[in-house]
Amino acid sequence: MKITVVGTGYVGLVAGACFAETGNDVLCVDVDAAKIEGLRQNRLPIHEPGLEPLVIRNQRDGRLEFTTDVGAAIERSDVILIAVGTPPGEDGSADLQHVLDVARSIGRHMDRPKLVVTKSTVPVGTAERVRAEICKHTKTAFHVAANPEFLKEGAAVEDFMKPDRVVIGVDSPDAAEVMGQLYAPFVRTGNPIIFMDLASAEMTKYAANAMLATRISLMNQFARLCDAVGADVTLVRRGIGSDRRIGPAFLFPGPGYGGSCFPKDVKALIHTGDTHGVSLDVLQAVEAANERQKRVLFDKLERRLGPALHGATVGVWGLAFKAETDDVRESPALVLIEQLLAARVQVRVHDPAAVASARRQLGDRVTYAKNAYDAVQGAAALAIVTEWLEYRNPDFDRMKGLMMRPLIVDARNLYDPPRMAKLGFIYESIGRPVACASS
């Protein structure tokens, strides 16, 4: 099948590489000439496990190409996936400018019947707006589909190749047949392709992300209450997660959600509700709870260090919003760092993948450590924000020797509190009793 993917961000690049991996002829398009040239040289603009080998192999074998020529790519293909960004506007609504720009280009280059698929995360009704925009520029018949992605950054390739389900909104049996053929290689183990109308498919994407964001924020609220009443959120999580109606997934407390999806999708869904006269009060509370959660680590450091925080050095492990990605969009780590800098703290940071991304926002206001241990040199405290594997079993004796004070504030609950106390640390995590070294 000849496929064009417009947009080479997380969604577009992963989709293009994975469709090429299953034998399709894929052309990925982007207006950023530097990005396209880098991709042609197998230099990826994002850090995503397993993606680079797919790009290298499928370029080598001729199934995957990159271009800036949108018109020629549209004319060459039978299926066109729109995977451009939909950043949030000031009112929280999704900005569809780039999506509709692509629709106009498709209409102008519609030389034969094609299937146009919205892959970007878009509000309900966008597929019909795309159809209307294309129709302004062509009389050629075409079909429209809505195919939202459910990829987790850090596991996007695996999620695409082995999806829990594939959701596809279609406007005709012909569109359903083409999309079914396209996704057949990915659902051979029996996970479903769920066909539905266009509006329901668009709504499903937002509803899924809003549900996950709600679970995260609710567990973070439970963790704050556990801190206040002396309960252990780890035990609470096990107790409620064993209920089959609830399940164990997404019940780990943390520093608040970030990234490119949850924050903007929650905002966009609230805006959609307001537009249609439906107040999504629960999601408004989720958003407010998440913003408060991003300030929990600073509050713990300020309470623990008091006036000594000002002028001190604090190490920060983790800059990405989650492990296995270099994405720092809406990262809780950046919120913490800005608070520390405002308190005149010297900040030393480390991250295995996200330093370059973070530097674009932080500049030279922080010290970028060569390794995790360099980040705690002379530190009055260490704050752990991202759950990278290399942080899970460090050399605690070495850390203790490097730090001015053996204080760790851990937003990911990586370590066992009694063990940390025995090792001589003051260890404060999220929703669990504080561990203090015996004198």
Mean pLDDT of the chain: 96
Neighbours of 138 (CB within 10 A): 15
Residue 28 annotated as catalytic: no
- Do both 139 and 244 map to the same domain? no
pLDDT tens-place string over residues 375-385 = 999 999 999 99
Predicted confidence at residue 383, as pLDDT, reads: 98
Residue 438: pLDDT over 90: no
Predicted confidence at residue 260, as pLDDT, reads: 85
- Do both 317 and 395 map to the same domain? yes
CATH code where residue 114 lies:
3.40.50.720
Range of the domain at 36: 2-196
Per-residue pLDDT averaged across 273-286, rounded?
A: 96
Exposed e or buried b for every residue in 385-422, given b needs 16+ CB within 10 A?
A: bbbbeebeebebeebbebbebbbbbbbbbbbebeebbe
Predicted confidence at residue 56, as pLDDT, reads: 98
Residue 439: pLDDT over 80: no
Q: CA dist 118 to 198, 218, 415, 432, Å?
A: 10, 31, 43, 44
pLDDT tens-place string over residues 290-303 = 999 999 999 999 99
pLDDT tens-place string over residues 33-51 = 999 999 999 999 999 999 9
Last residue of a domain, one of 274, 292, 310: 292
Of the listed 28, 135, 261, 436, which one is catalytic? 261
- Do both 8 and 150 map to the same domain? yes
Q: How many domains does the chain have?
A: 3
Please indicate, yes or no, if residue 434 is contained in any of the structural domains: no
- Do both 80 and 120 map to the same domain? yes
- Do both 211 and 179 map to the same domain? no
Using CA of residue 384, residue 388, residue 393, residue 396, what is the dihedral sign? negative
Please indicate, yes or no, if residue 435 is contained in any of the structural domains: no
Q: Which of 68, 81, 69 is nearest to 24 (CA)?
A: 81
Predicted confidence at residue 23, as pLDDT, reads: 97
Predicted confidence at residue 88, as pLDDT, reads: 84
Q: Please indicate, yes or no, whether the overall pTM of this predicted structure exceeds 0.85.
A: yes
